[in-house]
Structure 1
């Protein structure tokens, strides 16, 4: 048994506990959480740290299989520039892909990540995941614009899903990629699978302004690029609405659904999400957004969505680290009104709820085994992260 204290404890939600005490079993299971009201007395075998203790982080969006692409892609100004580079360079790596995946998994562990929602287009990451301390939710991603390929796309996704299950690499679901990359018949197939299995959906949403433009009939740079893969004027209806509102009807409404990126999401989209998707979550990956489009989501629009916001790192193709604390720094630096409590809730409990892992992780509650992180080198007076702020695992 360990008794651990720090300058502050963040429990998963609510205010920080000053000089609180966390009691955990040898395997990390929470036994008790003591609010000392800030008055810490001498206790036998008590560990005390300067900084903030919080539950292990949940990385709600990653592409672990792309870890070999670290540093391979140049920063771009829009999604088309990024996707073009991906197609050119994704198959040309001559090193050990599995070694890079293993390194990335270890990097996440060292950065205090205990659970991860990971996008999978291949089977490459499953062996590493089966041996990892991180709990993974594997989103088998499907994309395809040609209607005559729907059955093949679904069959391939099911094969990858079965490989994930057979390798014990975590929970599995089949999910659509994005508004611009999935045909209507393919949407319906994926929707049916999700509804039948009550599985979670992870959906790349409004990462670029070009996505919205497609649904008002603009034959923009993205449209012209996608013509190479079967897009034509009949693929999507011209709705004169945002991409979010245009495709909402093709997504399962009662499942947990993670909308990822949301860089160009507007207030009407948020209202629609609350009306149509009672179990929706917004996943922000700010460092990736700056890499691809040099633009961040308007976090102010989401001020009433505090319990629905999660944090992701995206992949090492568009990021130089797999670190939740680094993502939080970017958000704090660009949105000064965000409190440390908000940021840490997004990074812990909300992500656990989104991935339906909150029965085990995300908060310091009796019986849970959430991992324990120490955030240090922070401004304890202002309760702000600094450029020097780091995280270390006190209990995995």
Structure 2
């Protein structure tokens, strides 16, 4: 048994507890959360801490297999140039890729992350995840913008997903600009046939040119397709944003995470509300700044009734895999966001999306959510000096 007392304990499922006490057993399962030492535990030493105790963080969007690209792609080059850089550099020595993935996994653990929604395009991270202390759900990502490739791309994704099993995994589309309508339909058919067993995650509206391409077939994505030798003569402009174009193609039987949302507007949000889709949002602000030097209009998403989560994206587009760092950026850029709200996004909201909220996300008796100590707050506001230390 271990007992921790801190300035505040944030259960997330209840109001913060001043001078809070949390008691866990030797495997990290919570025995009690209160403002008192549990009865019968008087002989157990209490670790007195300055700061706040929170549940472990949930990172709903990462690309661990791209960790070897840390610092290799220039900042602020825009999404199209970033994609070109990824495709040019991603294939490397498998040992180098695996070593970087192992380090990234360990760094996330040290940064207080307990669960990860991770994008994979290969099997390189299977052994890393099998040995990890973190919970992983792997999204096997599909790319295929030409209709005639839809069947082959989808079948290859099913084969890769089979390699990940029995680890938690699902088959998912990459983004509106990289998945044909035919491929979307195959994923939807598969998802509809397996209710609640094929979690969906899709990159959404990372730059304005994505919307421009879908509305008018203009902008830098035309150069991207030409660069990769992809014939897009079949594609007709949709006269509406990319999100509005693909939402009808997505399943209503699975939870869907819309990731990045840098250029999502209020009309897009209202459009979603017209459809029976189980939409969640994920923000990765440091990656948005790294790639496009832009941020989502966060205020538009508040009080809309949607579940909001946080992600780190990859080390190709970020300097660290740290949810606290994402929270810091959001609070600096959007001061109205309280630390309490950001902690909900960083814990229970991510756990709810990943379907692990019975074990993670809140400090409640019987759960094993992990414990983080956050220090260096200024009147409960995150500062440059704020740090996270994993306790359990």
The answer to whether the superposition gives a TM-score over 0.5 is: yes
1:1-396 map, 5 Å: 1-35=1-35, 45-92=45-92, 96-165=96-165, 168=166, 170-197=167-194, 198=196, 199-227=198-226, 228-235=228-235, 237-305=236-304, 308-379=307-378, 382-395=379-392
> CA–CA distance in 1 between the matches of 2:13 and 2:318?
28
2:146 touches 2:232 (CA, 8 Å); kept in 1? no
2:258 touches 2:282 (CA, 8 Å); kept in 1? yes
> CA–CA distance in 1 between the matches of 2:174 and 2:202?
6
> CA–CA distance in 2 between the matches of 1:72 and 1:295?
20
Measured against aligned partners, the alpha-carbon deviations of 1:198-242 in whole angstroms (never above 9, x if no partner) come to 32100000011111111212321112312435342423x422211
Task: Quote how far apart the aligned CAs of 1:253 are.
Answer: 2.1
1:306 touches 1:342 (CA, 8 Å); kept in 2? no
> CA–CA distance in 2 between the matches of 1:278 and 1:154?
22
Pair 1:309–1:229, CA change in 2 (3 A): farther
SS of 1:373 mapped into structure 2:
strand
1:178 touches 1:203 (CA, 8 Å); kept in 2? yes
Pair 1:210–1:189, CA change in 2 (3 A): same
> CA–CA distance in 2 between the matches of 1:229 and 1:257?
31
Pair 1:229–1:195, CA change in 2 (3 A): farther
Task: Quote how far apart the aligned CAs of 1:194 are.
Answer: 1.7
TM-score for the superposition, normalised by structure 1:
0.93
2:7 touches 2:18 (CA, 8 Å); kept in 1? yes
SS of 2:296 mapped into structure 1:
coil
2:13 touches 2:363 (CA, 8 Å); kept in 1? no
> CA–CA distance in 1 between the matches of 2:113 and 2:289?
22
Q: CA RMSD of the aligned region, Å?
A: 1.7
SS of 1:81 mapped into structure 2:
helix
1:203 touches 1:259 (CA, 8 Å); kept in 2? yes
Pair 1:14–1:278, CA change in 2 (3 A): farther
Pair 1:277–1:223, CA change in 2 (3 A): farther
2:251 touches 2:277 (CA, 8 Å); kept in 1? no
> CA–CA distance in 1 between the matches of 2:22 and 2:304?
29
> CA–CA distance in 2 between the matches of 1:231 and 1:10?
53
> CA–CA distance in 1 between the matches of 2:48 and 2:133?
25
SS of 1:136 mapped into structure 2:
strand
1:79 touches 1:292 (CA, 8 Å); kept in 2? yes
> CA–CA distance in 2 between the matches of 1:383 and 1:204?
32
Pair 1:307–1:15, CA change in 2 (3 A): farther
Task: Quote how far apart the aligned CAs of 1:87 are.
Answer: 2.0
> CA–CA distance in 1 between the matches of 2:45 and 2:276?
48
2:213 touches 2:219 (CA, 8 Å); kept in 1? yes
SS of 1:290 mapped into structure 2:
helix
Matched residues, number: 384
TM-score for the superposition, normalised by structure 2:
0.94
> CA–CA distance in 2 between the matches of 1:88 and 1:343?
36
> CA–CA distance in 1 between the matches of 2:95 and 2:26?
40
2:191 touches 2:253 (CA, 8 Å); kept in 1? no
SS of 1:85 mapped into structure 2:
helix
* Mean CA deviation greater in 81-90 or 133-142: 81-90
